[in-house]
Amino acid sequence: MINEILVYVGEALVLIGVFCDIAASIGMLRFPNFYTRMHAATVGTIGGAVVPLIGVALMALGCDWLGTYRFFLAGASIVAGILIMLLAPVGTHVLALAAHRAGLAPKKPLVFDHLEEERARRND
C-alpha cells in the first residue's frame, strides 16, 4: 500500500518535471533576449531537474524488488537534487553578471535599469 503511494507520488513529480521542461524549452525559444531566457532556464533547473529527482527518490523507495539498492538510488538522487539547488544559481548569477558587465546581450525590452545608473554614477 505505502509502496504504491510512493511510486504514484514519484511518478506525478516526474510528470510535473516533464511539463516544466517542455514549458521551459518553449520559453527559451520565445523569450526576446538573454536575460529573459535565463528565467526560462530556471524553470528547467528547479521544476525540470530537482522536482523529478525527488520523484525518482520516492519511486526508488517504493520499489521493493530493488532490494537494498533502493536506498542508494534514493539517497543519491536527493543529494544530487540538493547540490543542483545550491550550485545552479551560482552559474546563473555569474552568467548574468558577465553579460551585463560586457554589455554584449541586447537589453531591449528592459523598462529601467538601476544597475546601469549605479555603474554610471560610480564612474563619474
Partner 1 sequence: MTRKTLASIPAAILSFVIYLFYTGSLGLFDVITGAIVAVIIGLLVGNIVVENPGKALSIRRGFLMLIYIIWYFLVAETKAHIDVIKRALHPKMPLNPAIIKVPYNVSTDYAMTLIANSITNTPGTVVVDLDYENKYFFVHWLDAKTSDPLKAREIISSKFEEFAKKIFD
Helix (H) or strand (E) holding 71: helix 69-102
Angstrom distance (rounded) from CA 55 to CA 61: 10
- 44-103: which residues touch partner 1 (CB under 8 A)? 45-47, 68-76, 78-79, 85-86, 88-90, 92-93, 96-97, 100
CB of 1 to partner 1, least distance (A): 23
CB of 69 to partner 1, least distance (A): 8
Residue closer to partner 1, measured from CB, 2 or 68: 68
All 3 cell numbers of residue 31?
523569450
Q: 59 with 36: CB under 8 angstroms?
A: no
Q: 30 with 36: CB under 8 angstroms?
A: no
38 binds partner 1 (CB under 8 A): yes
CB of 25 to partner 1, least distance (A): 9
Angstrom distance (rounded) from CA 53 to CA 85: 11
- Angle, to 10 degrees, between the axis of helix 51-62 and the axis of helix 69-102? 180
8 binds partner 1 (CB under 8 A): no
Helix (H, G, I), strand (E, B) or coil at 52: helix
105 binds partner 1 (CB under 8 A): no
Binding site for partner 1 (CB under 8 A): 20, 23-24, 26-27, 30-32, 35-36, 38-40, 42-43, 45-47, 68-76, 78-79, 85-86, 88-90, 92-93, 96-97, 100, 109-116, 118
